[in-house]
Amino acid sequence: MRFLVVLSHPLAGSFAGSIAATAKTALEKNGHSVDLLDLYTEDFDPRLSEAERRGYFDVPYNTSAVDDIVARLKAADGLILVFPQWWFNFPAILKGFFDRVFAPGIAFDHEQAGGRIIPRLTNIKSFWALTTTGSPWWVVKLYMGDPVRRLLKRGIAAFCAKDVQFRMISLHDMDRVTAKQRAAHLAKIEKAIARI
């Protein structure tokens, strides 16, 4: 399989970067090919332009400003997102990736009668999120209702890809974990990805 691994962290040497590197190595070890898209290194602009928003219902929708990334997404069989959760949400650059790249005609089509959207990312069979949070698990899951997981699984993955295998692996309480716990988390990711 061909995987697009999307990294969303502004700091070189971040733990998210270590997670992305671990995922890439584990995938390649299993015979998969990997395209690593580091949104910060590649200077991705997350802002939806005025022209992009005005043309949102045009057919075809104009994706020329992000055609290179659209081509990389269309070439993939699997998608792995690597990012920290900030304020129980995506980093702004990843939200902009969804806004600009998961666009009409690419990730979905608008139903002619309106209302529903029709999935178009039929090439994506595996959709994973590898993430960290500064909050303890019980705050994320019990108090907040696990909003990022809900958005990814019930919203983006379900609305844009059919019969996709979704998985999310999170390291909670990131600000207080030890080096040993970080190493154990990377080993957990490597083991999980080895089963793909």
Query: How confident is the model over 124-182, as pLDDT tens digits?
Result: 999 999 999 999 899 889 998 899 999 999 999 988 998 899 999 999 999 999 999 99
In order of their start, the domains of the chain are: 2-194 (3.40.50.360)
Neighbours of 94 (CB within 10 A): 23
pLDDT at 116 over 90: no
CA distance 75 to 71: 6
Whole-prediction pTM: 0.95
pLDDT at 81 over 90: yes
CA distance 89 to 12: 21
Identify the pLDDT of residue 29: 97
CA distance 195 to 126: 12
- Looking at the chain, the whole-number percentage of residues with pLDDT higher than 70 is 100
Identify the pLDDT of residue 56: 86
Identify the pLDDT of residue 66: 97
Calculate the dihedral angle through the C-alpha atoms of 71, 72, 73, 74, rounding to the nearest 10 degrees: 50
Q: What is the pLDDT of residues 60-72, one digit of tens each?
A: 889 999 999 999 9
- Could you give the C-alpha distances from 131 to 1, 10, 63, 185, in angstroms and in order? 22, 14, 28, 11
User: Residue 117: which H helix or E strand, with range?
Assistant: strand 117-119
Q: What is the pLDDT of residues 14-47, one digit of tens each?
A: 999 999 999 999 999 999 999 999 999 999 999 9
Identify the pLDDT of residue 57: 85
pLDDT band for position 113 (cuts 50, 70, 90) = confident
pLDDT band for position 4 (cuts 50, 70, 90) = very high
DSSP H stretches of helix in 6-138:
15-29, 50-54, 67-74, 92-101, 137-138
CA distance 106 to 63: 9
Identify the pLDDT of residue 117: 87
Closest CA to 104 of 62, 162, 73: 62
